[in-house]
Each structure stands twice: as C-alpha cells, then as structure tokens.
C-alpha cells in the first residue's frame, strides 16, 4: 500500500488533484511535471506516487523505482527537448530540499544554467546527488 499525505503538494499533483499542474507523463509509479522555478527552459521533476520524504529514506527495495525514475526522466527530456546529451539528473539531499516528497530533477541544457543554479544543482555535492550515488548507496545497504 502506498503512503499518501493529504497536505503534500506533490501527492496532490501525482493524484491529479492540482489543476494548475500539467502532467507530461504519468504511470502507476511516477508523474512528471515542470519545475515551478526552472533552472533552464527544460527542467522537469519526476515524482514518485508513493510519499517518500526524500532519497535518504529509500531502502534497497526502491532501486527499481530510482531506475524507473531515471528512465522516465530521460524519455520525457528526449520528447520535450529533442535530446539528452547535455542533461543533469539528481536528487536534493536532506536537509537541502524544499518539498519533502521524493522527486528527481531532470535538467537540460546545463550550459543554460546560471551560476546560482549551477551551485544548487552541483552533482554529488552535500546537497545534490546523482541517481548513481543513490543506487550505489542502496546497493551497499543491501550487502
């Protein structure tokens, strides 16, 4: 059974209860929509339908979800922007996130990012980690 929090805006979005948010993709595990404060013209969020506070709360059984989020994010980016050659994917690491609901940032083209965005979305910093980092962490937790 999936956890859902009624007061969580991302839970509302993934349940299609927020009329202001256009879903670019939706399946039984994730929904994709535009970031409301985009770092580039193509900045999307892949949010899990299950309410998981953040990437640090994932367990080894969530590896498939993370892989699915990456695959869906790349697919949406390819459709929306025409490619995935200059793409940045990542999760904000607690406590450095503003929405406590698991979501993957999918950003392109990184050369369009301003210097503040480059800092906010710096891969494998203390505050923003790549999907590979998360998957390696889950693998270590399983072993």
Catalytic (active-site) positions: 103
Instruction: Determine how many CB atoms are found less than 10 A away from the CB of residue 43.
Output: 21
Token code pair at residue 87: 């793409």
CA-closest candidate to residue 4, choices 46, 44, 60, 53: 53
Q: State how far the Cα of 139 lies from the Cα of 143, in Å rounded to an integer.
A: 6
Q: Which residues of 114-143 are buried (b: 16+ CB within 10 A; e: fewer)?
A: eeebeebbeeeeebbbbbebbbebbeeeee
């Amino acid at each position: 059974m999936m956890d859902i929090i009624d007061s969580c805006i991302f839970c509302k979005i993934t349940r299609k209860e927020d009329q202001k948010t256009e879903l670019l993709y939706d399946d039984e595990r994730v929904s994709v929509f535009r970031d409301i404060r985009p770092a580039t013209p193509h900045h999307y969020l892949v949010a899990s339908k299950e309410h998981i506070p953040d990437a640090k709360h994932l367990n080894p059984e969530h590896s498939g979800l993370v892989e699915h989020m990456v695959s869906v994010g790349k697919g949406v980016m390819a459709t929306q922007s025409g490619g995935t050659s200059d793409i940045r994917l990542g999760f904000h690491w607690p406590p450095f996130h503003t929405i406590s609901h698991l979501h993957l940032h999918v950003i392109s083209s990184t050369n369009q990012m301003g210097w503040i965005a480059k800092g906010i979305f710096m891969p494998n910093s203390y505050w923003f980690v790549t999907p590979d980092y998360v998957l390696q962490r889950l693998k270590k937790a399983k072993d």
